[in-house]
Every structure is written in C-alpha cells, then in structure tokens.
Amino acid sequence: MNKSLRITRDSTLTATRRLVIDAIWRTQHALVLSHRDPDADSLGSALALGEALENRGAQATVAIDSPELIAPPLDELLDVNRVLPLTAELADGQYDTVFVVDTASPALLGAESSLCEAVFRDRTVVNVDHHASNRRYGTINYVEDIAAATAEVLWVLFSDAGISCTEKMAVNLQTGLVGDTIGFQIADTSARTLRAAASLMESGGLTHKTPRRVLNARTIIAARLYGAALAEVQSTADGRIVWTSVTHDLVATVNARVEYSHGLPNALQEIVGAEIAAVFYEIGASATRGSLRSTSYAINGVAERFGGGGHQLAAGFTIDQPIATARRVVLDQLEKLLDG
C-alpha cells in the first residue's frame, strides 16, 4: 500500500473518500471487521462491503467477535454463515487491508487488545464509520457523522466509485439503513438517507418488508422475553427516566437467551413522559451491558464514562459490575444529566 495513504486525519472528507475508494480498488485480500454484539447496520455494512470487494476480484474475509451469538431476525435476514469468528488465527492471514466498519474504537471489536494490534499490524486499516465518537484509529479514517448509518456511508462510497449494488448488497445495506434509523424515524434521517434507500430499492433492497423484518420480527420465545422485560419497567418519580433489566432469571423464566431481547430500548422510549430510556442486560456474574436512548439529551457522554460510546441519542456500554451496582451508578449519572 502507498505511504501517502497515511496522511488522512486532516484531509477533507472528499479527499479521504478518494483514499477509501483507492483502497477498495487496490486490495487483493481484505479482512472486513465490525463490532461485537452486531446490529443490522454493522452486519449489513460488513457483508455488503465484503461482496463489493469480491465482485471486483479481491478476496474478502468478513469476521466479528462471536458470530454464533447473532440472534433472530438478523441471522435469517443476512448471510451470517459467511461471517467468521475474529480469532488469533485470523491475524496470520495474508491480508493487505483491514476494513473496519461501524466501529467507533478498536475496543468495540471485542477481541483482546493484543489481538487487535496483531490484526492491524503492517496492514492498511480503513476505518469507515458514522459515529461522532470515532477514535480515528485507522490508516485512513472516513467518518461521516452526519450519516444516519454506516450503510449510508457505504452507499455514498460505492456510488462515487461507480460500484453498482447487486440485489444482495442492496438488501444488506437497506437492512443497515432501516436498523439504525428505526425505519427512517430518527432525526439523523436526511434527504440523502432516503435517496440511498430509494436507490437501494431500485437495486432490489426491499423497502416495505425490511422494516418489519429488521425491527419487529420476533420468535415466540423472543416475544415472551420482550413482554417479560416490559412488565419489569421502572421509572423515576417524575417519569423522565425509564429502565428495565434483562437478568439471568428473567431470561431463564422464558427459556430464552439475552441476545433475543432486541428492540427493548426503542420500546421504552415510546413511554409517555420518558426522556431517557435504559436497558440493563446481565451478561455474567459481574458484567452488565447497557443500552441508552433519549429523545433530547446527549446520553453518549454517560456511555463513554463507563467505557462505551455511540451517538448522542443512542449509546451503549459494558461495565464489569453486577447488574444491581451497574444500574445504580448509571441511573445516578443519568439523573445528574437531567438535573444538569
């Protein structure tokens, strides 16, 4: 790879876009990565980029941490069989370029930091994202924080590069757009997001069916878990903060897995008077994952305080604490944010 690819941080977006497109055209064997606990955007984007690279004759390996945990409906909607686990063996592969999509920091890849270092070492790292909190850890950093989804960023890149979307790529990108915008409902949805959606529809990305499948489709076990978690919803006295907890006990009661509980943060946000919604997931005896949503408060600062990140109105974190402790410290910070 060309040394000039290293000067990117201060380039304009347009110049950086050229560098990414160059990297897409030049790579012979690419490793495409995205964050752990993947969502529709991270998976759809990684798969679409993998296919775009293959269609132009490169080899592309798509990998994430623990792909076996990908739960319905994503595992049916997308070709998750081609996603490999991100392991130490992958670091030994003959990749010239590592593309990382939708991932604000390498820590979110989930692998130990030594593994990330080994995967990145001596390779061009192309970081394509839409999170304002992106740490610019790549050789090339293309971060468009005005984009509603990484899928939208990729659509822009592909259009600019003259890379046409196959039907499968269009379905993958449309899935990402719908997932991150909650069916084009969030404020980041722009005219360009809708242009991307229209263009992807013309390429075969289903528009009317995708929202229902990405956002609302649940297996019966997932529906039971969803109901059980909603039945446990709590709120502060003024009703401005609402939360629920997906504990091991709750998950066991309905015979589910914690990964089946998608959609809860958005559901809590629908509660009248709620300005901040939080969902706490017990993922171990002393580890708790959290998702935060808000209609008007920038909650990403609270997520970052606990080692996480995300967007102003949608963010997440993982804390090495039992769920009761994690909940207490996070709710305390959220109350301070509202009082602030």
Residue numbers at the binding site for Mn ion (CB under 5 A) = 41, 102, 149-150, 180
Closest approach of Mn ion to the CB of residue 338, in Å = 26
- Least Å distance between CB 222 and Mn ion? 22
Minimum distance of Mn ion from residue 176's CB (angstroms) = 7
Which contacts of 319-324 are long-range, i.e. CB under 8 A and separated by 24 or more positions?
Answer: 319/287, 319/288, 319/290, 320/286, 320/287, 321/286, 321/287, 321/288, 322/282, 322/285, 322/286, 322/288, 323/245, 323/247, 323/280, 323/282, 323/288
User: By beta-carbon distance, which residue lies closest to Mn ion?
Assistant: 41
What gap in Å lies between CA 267 and CA 233, rounded to an integer? 11
Looking at the Cβ atoms of 15 and 146, the one nearer to Mn ion is 146
Judged by beta carbon, residue 163 or residue 314, the one nearer Mn ion is 314
**CA dist., res. 99 & res. 32, Å (int):** 5
The smaller minimum CB distance to Mn ion, of residues 150 and 318, is found at: 150
Closest to Mn ion by CB, 104 vs 217, is 104
- Cα–Cα distance, 226 to 248 (Å, whole number): 14
Would you say 86 and 58 are in contact if contact means Cβ atoms under 8 Å apart? Answer: no
Cα distance between residue 308 and residue 108, in whole Å: 8
For the CB of residue 28, give the shortest distance to Mn ion in the complex, in Å. Answer: 28
Closer to Mn ion by Cβ: residue 45 or 139: 45
SS3 call for 100: strand
> Between 105 and 150, whose beta carbon lies closer to Mn ion?
150
Q: How far apart are CA 266 and CA 277, in angstroms?
A: 8
Min CB(148)–Mn ion separation in Å:
8
Structure tokens at 109: 């890849």
